[in-house]
Structure 1
Amino acid sequence: MADEGPDLGALADEVERLAAPAEGRVGVGIALLGSDEAVVVGEGRHPMQSVFKLPLGMAVLAAVDRGELSLDRRVAVTLADFVSDRQHSPIRDRHPDGVELSVGELLGAAAGGSDGTAADVLLDLLGGPAEVEGFLRGIGVEGVDVAVTEKDMGRDYDAQYRNGATPAGALALLRALHAGRGLSQESRTLLLRVLTETTTGPNRLRGRLPEGTPVAHKTGTSRARDGVTAATNDVGLVTLPDGRRLAVAVFVSDSPADDATRERVIADVARAAYDAWAR
């Protein structure tokens, strides 16, 4: 008898139950890649924060594939490029007087290390956020908007809502990444390696999965204002024991819950998705 797959309605109900402790807006997209099996819970638009560095990385590598950029190109990172002290930037912290890095190093710092300074330097090399959004539309991804830089978000708390995604849009992005749409095989492989090797967000998508489960993912986090955190996110590709991949996107927005609770929601949703198909 053929495997009919999981009960998607039951999974959606379970996701809603698991999301409740966040006490905010939670958007979830889950899909078995290569199939039409998918669950979307919460159709609103959510601030991505550093999740936007995933489409940024794809756009940078597409420019490399076109010959417009080279991973070996050296770029001066000056004090004027640094994001604010409130924002995450190991480059700024390690090199307070500036540094010269390759495009490949900047890509690893942005997509793998979530470095805000690296992201803005790459955006500038591309020509700005509109170039990333144009890349997304060119590969057929709707529902993911890149409109502002890291510096913009550092200056204006509300600017982060302009870099937004719906759960369905995040699934479209992850499907494009999985398929390597707009990218050479070499570039796709490189980006997946960077996203798999990242150490960010150990308690999010990876938090409750079996040890050793491959997860290629990108987190996003905002600071809190008046006790409410605008964004606690993780989106990525989870590899099942049989080699199939799940696309999982979880956005926890405008939540008064503490860090551990918000991250637990993401981990619990990822585990529910994993269990639904791993069975």
Structure 2
Amino acid sequence: MKRIFPAYILLTAFLLACSSNATTQNANQSNKPAAAQEAKADDKQNRELQKQIEQIASAARGRVGVHAVVLETGESVSLDEQGRFPMQSVYKFPIGMAVLAQVDAGKLKLDERVRVEKSEYVREGMHSPLRDKNPNEAEVSVRELLRLAVSESDGTASDVLFRLAGGSEAITRYLSDLKVTEIIVADTEKEIGQDWDTQYRNWASPKGAVMLLRAFHEGRGLSAESRALLLKLMTDTPTGPKRLKGLLPKGTVVAHKTGTSGANASGISAATNDIGIVTLPNGRHLAIAVFVSDSPADLTTREGVIAKVAKAAWDQWGK
């Protein structure tokens, strides 16, 4: 039997529904201006940050590449993000990751002793505490080679790790498996030291460097133990205190890897770099890569560009 509702009940229900819809529409309309204003404010801040970074970069009088991303939110700023910049010792970071992946696979052990022949030493004038302390030959653990290469930026240790990782092809495959592009690890430190042009074969884009930092932060391609070890080595490094860390508050946690070239006869420096993960005061993480290339400016100016870019990003997203 059908139930027949009185007309006044149906009318009341209709009026209530209309009232509810109107209230919802009004609320949505009232929220739209606020959301639009917030988006407009963010867009303005991003444009201002972009201009600020462009102005900072001009002091180098060379090529400057920047890519900075808040990993948790995707907020970012870039300058020539896909340009090809010589990495110099920045490339010891992907080499270190590739070696630790071999450790995770059981092909290497951290405490395994590795013989280093004198013929593997980089030439005098290139940074190598391992060579300096062992003028003839050396035998060190994989763990110590990682510390020397990543924290101390030792060229000889890096070349031995390059060999242990399987060379350029194996490192390239590892990066490909991580879906990281725009990074090329082609030559050893010893080969790079032979002439000026070879360093440009080992390049990264700022975007590619941040891809790798994101993969590392997310724990892709490494066990938790290996990631923790490499993170400590990058955090404890004494290199580059005036670069990414230079203008940040004392005690800021920065896990980073620097890279530095010499200058040619014309006084042009090919590479003054720093890439890393900065822990912001709000607990988020800023992955940032700054490459300063082909610059006639002095070291103080070049490092100052990197420090000022990092500080600008910190001021924007560290609140």
Which TM bucket (shorter chain)?
Answer: over 0.9
Contact 2:95 2:165 in 1 (8 A): no
Task: Return the match for 1:37 from 75, 80, 87.
Answer: 75
Taking the TM superposition and a 5 Å limit, the aligned residue runs for 1:144-223 are: 144-223=183-262
What does the per-residue CA deviation read over 1:207-247, in whole Å, with 9 as the maximum and x for residues that have no partner?
A: 00000000000000000002000000000000011211100
Q: CA deviation at 1:97?
A: 1.8
Match for residue 121 of structure 1?
160
The structure in which a higher percent of residues are strand is 1
TM-score, normalization by structure 2: 0.85
User: Are residues 1:242 and 2:282 paired?
Assistant: yes
Q: Tell me, in whole angstroms, the C-alpha distance in 2 between the residues paired with 1:8 and 1:145.
A: 30
**For 1:247, what is the secondary structure of its paired residue?**
strand
Q: 1: CA distance between counterparts of 2:203 and 2:64?
A: 13
1:25 maps onto 2:63 in alignment: yes
The alpha-carbon deviation at position 132 of structure 1 amounts to 1.2
Structure 2: unaligned runs, 5 residues or longer: 1-33
When normalised by structure 1's length, the TM-score is: 0.97
Structure 1 or 2: more helix by fraction? 2
Q: Is the 8 A contact 2:68 2:76 kept in 1?
A: yes
Q: Which amino acid aligns with 2:314?
A: Y
Deviations 1:122-151, CA, capped at 9 Å, x for gaps: 111122122111111110000111111101
Instruction: Indicate conservation of the 8 Å contact 1:238/1:247, yes or no.
Output: yes
Question: Which structure's relative contact order is higher, taking Cα pairs within 8 Å and 6+ residues apart?
Answer: 1
Aligned to 1:80: 119
- Larger Rg over CA atoms: 2
RMSD of aligned alpha carbons: 1.4
Q: Which amino acid aligns with 2:86?
A: P
- Letter matched to residue 186 of structure 1: E
| Deviation at residue 99 of structure 1 after TM alignment | 1.5
* Preserved contact between residue 86 and residue 154 of structure 1 (Cα < 8 Å): no
Query: AA paired with 1:230?
Result: A
| Cα deviation, residue 8, structure 1 | 2.1
Could you list the runs of 5+ residues in structure 1 that have no partner in the other structure?
A: none
Identical residues among aligned pairs (%): 55
The residue number in structure 2 matching 1:99 is: 138
User: What is the aligned residue count?
Assistant: 279
CA contact (8 A) 2:93 2:257 kept: yes
CA distance in 1, matches of 2:47, 2:94: 30
